[in-house]
Amino acid sequence: MKVYKRFSRERQLWLLSLPIIAWVLIFNYYPMYGLIIAFQNYIPGQSMFGNWVGFDNFIRFFQEPDFWLIMRNTIVISLLNLFIGFPAPIVLALLLNEVKNRAFKKIIQSLSYIPYFISWVVVASIAFTLLGSNGIFNDLLQRFGFIDHPILFLGEGKYFWAILTTGNLWKDIGFNSIIYLSAIAGIDRELYEAGRVDGLGRFGLVWHITLPGIRATIVLLFILALGSILNAGFEQQLLLGSPTTRDYYEVIDTYVYRFGVQLGNYSYGAAVGLMKSLIGVTLVILANRTSRRVMQTSIF
Residue 1 has pLDDT above 70, yes or no: no
Query: Over the stretch 8-52, which tens digit does the pLDDT of each residue have?
Result: 888 888 889 999 999 999 998 888 888 888 998 888 877 777 788
Average pLDDT over every residue of 260-288: 87
Buried b / exposed e along 200-229 (16+ C-beta atoms within 10 A): beeeebbeebbeebbeebbbbbebebbbeb
Q: Which amino acid is at 126?
A: I
Question: What HEC string does 235-293 produce?
Answer: HHHHHHCCHHHHHHHCCHHHHHHHHHHHCCCHHHHHHHHHHHHHHHHHHHHHHHHHHHH
Q: Where are the domains positioned within the chain?
A: 61-294
Range 151-168 burial, b when 16+ CB lie within 10 A, else e = bebbbeeebbbebbbebb
Contact of 91 with 206, CB cutoff 8 Å:
no
What superfamily does domain 61-294 belong to in CATH? MetI-like (1.10.3720.10)
pTM for the model stands at 0.87
Burial of 273 (0-12, 13-18, 19+ CB in 10 A): middle
Residues 138-174: tens digit of each pLDDT: 889 888 888 888 888 888 888 999 999 999 999 999 9
Interval 116-127 mean pLDDT: 92
Instruction: For residue range 196-255, list pLDDT tens digits in order.
Output: 888 888 888 889 899 999 988 898 888 888 888 888 888 899 999 888 899 999 999 999
Burial (CB < 10 A; 0-12, 13-18, 19+), residue 107, is exposed
Radius of gyration of the chain (CA): 24
Is-contact 81 168, C-beta < 8 A?
yes
